[in-house]
């Protein structure tokens, strides 16, 4: 893990988008401090692999004349970054500062092409500052680049070995000056390149994440981040789509805000829009339905059905007895997109559907008997499982009305107990199996959540978490 991975979380900036987000992410000062700690260690290792280009010069030395020298095969032996900071500049970006750094270099030297030896170079009191500019590429992934870099070498001390190293005493100040200038010229291009090297890692951000065979969720940015002196707020699309067929729902996200909490590294706010876009997608896919037959009950032997199985089966037959001699099939499906709403500590989903009763003819053909209009309300519980947000629902209430009938009028209320069991023992358990699988949260490769807290607030779900990167 490096500073590059961490800064990817702040690098989700679009070029020209302005719609409201479905998901907001806040990175706090605590999160940036974690990034500084782990990032500096990784940056220090990266700098060890840098090769400094050869350079040469000439200098007139008293009593000797013009001295030509060259320094070649400069290889970094060690790097120290004892003091560093990563700070936010309101409305601008992220500023990285390193002070009191040192670099040890070994190489070969030659004077007047007559004397050859090796040398050790100690660069002390090195300071570096750079601004990290943030953007995005054409695919919606984050992209970063270095800007406003400055480097200053406080001192450069050379120790020569072999050859006529005594010459160093005659023009050491010229060599030191040349080395400082050479290092200063090299440091910023290397820092800029190191920042650019973040981009392959940024490609691991799940801008378009597969949920299942029907749906995927998009996490591209819809507007530039809001940067204050204490936090970065990111605006993500947070919208479900049918795989291969991206169609916008007939509703738009409302403005969402994050509470002023700072105890966690990252806060993620998931709006009702995200949940409702999922309902739109799955309803379009035609999978929010369930076929119910008597043999379906008799095949279920799980603990949840023991003791109730025969009662439910009996209830289905009660409907059948209204139509003697015919086996029954019930088809429950949504008629409109389900609608989720959030209140403090409460998430509710309301759905409108139909229940169609069919008689199963001896040849397997279905004959429609009646259609019931079904209005349901369920309470939802949400939870985290790894990097996915899952859920489970329980029935609050439902209401049945007769929509159409080919077998005459009958008292719909008498079927309430039957359909309450149908919903509780078949429809909702099937739905909960799917909800428990969850959908992916916005994340980078090798990102894990720690010390996570989840709250349901007005109009959104808030996840507060620390993070840890592996690898």
Is residue 328 located within the same domain as residue 409? yes
* Angle at the Cα of 416 from the Cα atoms of 414 and 419, rounded to 5 degrees: 125
Q: What mean pLDDT is predicted for residues 122-140?
A: 82
- Quick check: 441 pLDDT over 90? yes
Give the mean pLDDT of 397-413: 84
Q: Which residue has the higher pLDDT, 299 or 450?
A: 450
Total number of domains in the chain? 2
Average pLDDT over residues 88-97: 84
Q: Is 183 strand, coil or helix?
A: helix
pLDDT for residue 170 is more than 80 = no
Residue 7 covered by a domain:
no
Lowest mean pLDDT among 29-43, 311-325, 420-434: 311-325
Q: Specify the pLDDT at position 146.
A: 82
pLDDT value at residue 304: 39
Residue 306 in 3-state DSSP?
coil
Looking at 157, 175, 203, which one is the last position of a domain?
A: 203
Q: Are residues 183 and 252 in the same domain?
A: no
Whether the per-residue pLDDT at 94 is higher than 50: the answer is: yes
Domain extent at residue 382: 208-469
State residue 39's pLDDT score.
Answer: 74
User: Final residue of a domain: which of 180, 203, 226?
Assistant: 203
- What per-residue confidence (pLDDT) applies to 159? 79
pLDDT of amino acid 405? 84
H or E element in which residue 354 lies: strand 346-360
Burial of 302 (0-12, 13-18, 19+ CB in 10 A): exposed
Is 112 a residue whose pLDDT tops 90? Answer: no
Q: Which pLDDT score, from 0 to 100, does residue 124 have?
A: 86
Whether the Cβ atoms of residue 375 and residue 346 lie closer than 8 Å to each other = no
- List the CATH number of the domain containing 159: 3.15.10.10
DSSP single-letter state for residue 127 = E
Confidence of residue 312 (pLDDT cuts 50, 70, 90): very low
> What's the mean pLDDT in 64-79?
80
CATH number, domain containing residue 300: 3.15.20.10
Residue 311's pLDDT band, with cuts at 50, 70 and 90, is very low
The H or E element that residue 273 is part of is helix 272-285
The mean of the pLDDT values for the chain is 81
Report if residue 11 sits inside a domain: no
Indicate the pLDDT class of residue 295, thresholds 50, 70 and 90: low
pLDDT level of residue 15 (50, 70, 90 thresholds): very low
Distance CA 358, CA 345 (A): 40
Distance CA 143, CA 121 (A): 35
Q: What percent of the chain has pLDDT over 70?
A: 84
DSSP assignments along 314-326, one per residue: HHHHHHHHTSTT-
Rounded distance between C-alpha atoms, residue 95 and residue 131, angstroms: 4
Give the separation between CA 330 and CA 293, rounded to whole angstroms.
Answer: 7
Of 203, 227, 244, the one marking the end of a domain is 203
Pick the closest to residue 332 from 432, 419, 425, 242 (CA basis): 419
Average pLDDT over residues 242-264: 89
Q: Stretch 100-121: mean pLDDT, rounded?
A: 79
Residues 236 and 170 in one domain: no
pTM above 0.95, yes or no: no
Residue 35 lies in a domain: no
Q: Is there a domain that residue 446 lies in? A: yes
């Amino acid at each position: 893990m490096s500073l590059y991975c961490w800064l990817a979380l702040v690098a989700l900036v679009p070029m020209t988008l302005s719609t409201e987000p479905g998901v907001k992410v806040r990175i706090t000062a605590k999160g940036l401090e974690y990034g500084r700690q782990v990032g500096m260690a990784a940056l220090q290792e990266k700098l060890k692999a840098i090769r400094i280009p050869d350079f040469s010069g000439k200098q007139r030395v008293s009593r000797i004349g013009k001295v030509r020298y060259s320094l070649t095969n400069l290889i970094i032996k060690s790097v120290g970054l004892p003091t560093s900071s990563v700070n936010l500049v309101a409305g601008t970006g992220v500023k990285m500062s390193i002070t009191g750094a040192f670099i040890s270099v070994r190489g070969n030297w030659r004077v007047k092409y007559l004397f050859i030896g090796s040398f050790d170079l100690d660069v002390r009191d090195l300071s570096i500052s750079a601004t990290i500019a943030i953007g995005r590429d054409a695919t919606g992934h984050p992209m970063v680049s270095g800007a406003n870099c400055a480097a200053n070498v406080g001192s450069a001390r050379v120790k020569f070995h072999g050859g006529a190293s005594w010459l160093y005493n005659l023009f050491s100040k010229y060599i030191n000056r040349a080395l400082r200038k050479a290092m200063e010229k090299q440091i910023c291009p290397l820092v800029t390149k190191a920042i650019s090297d973040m981009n392959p890692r940024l490609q691991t951000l799940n801008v378009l994440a597969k949920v299942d065979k029907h749906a995927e969720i998009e996490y591209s940015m819809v507007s530039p981040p809001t940067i204050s002196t204490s936090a970065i707020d990111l605006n993500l699309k947070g919208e479900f789509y049918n795989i291969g067929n991206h169609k916008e729902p007939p509703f738009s996200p409302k403005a969402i805000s994050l509470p002023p909490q700072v105890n966690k590294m990252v806060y993620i706010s998931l709006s009702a829009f995200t949940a409702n876009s999922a309902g739109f997608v799955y309803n379009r896919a035609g999978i929010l339905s369930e076929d119910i037959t008597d043999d379906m009950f008799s095949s279920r032997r799980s603990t949840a059905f023991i003791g109730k199985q025969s009662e439910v089966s009996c209830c289905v037959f009660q409907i059948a007895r209204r139509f003697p001699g015919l086996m029954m099939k019930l088809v429950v499906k949504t008629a409109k997109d389900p609608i989720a709403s959030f209140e403090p500590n409460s998430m509710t989903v309301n759905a409108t559907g139909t229940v169609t009763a069919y008689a199963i003819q001896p040849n397997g053909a279905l004959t429609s008997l009646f259609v019931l209009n079904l209005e349901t309300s369920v309470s939802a519980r949400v939870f985290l499982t790894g990097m996915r947000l899952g859920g489970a629902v329980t029935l609050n209430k439902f209401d049945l009305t007769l929509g159409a009938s080919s077998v005459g009028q009958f008292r719909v209320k008498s079927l309430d107990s039957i359909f309450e069991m149908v919903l509780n023992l078949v429809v909702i358990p099937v739905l909960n199996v799917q909800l428990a699988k969850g959908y992916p949260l916005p994340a980078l490769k090798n990102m894990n959540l720690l010390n996570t807290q989840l709250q349901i607030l007005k109009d959104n779900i808030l996840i507060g978490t620390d993070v840890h990167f592996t690898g």
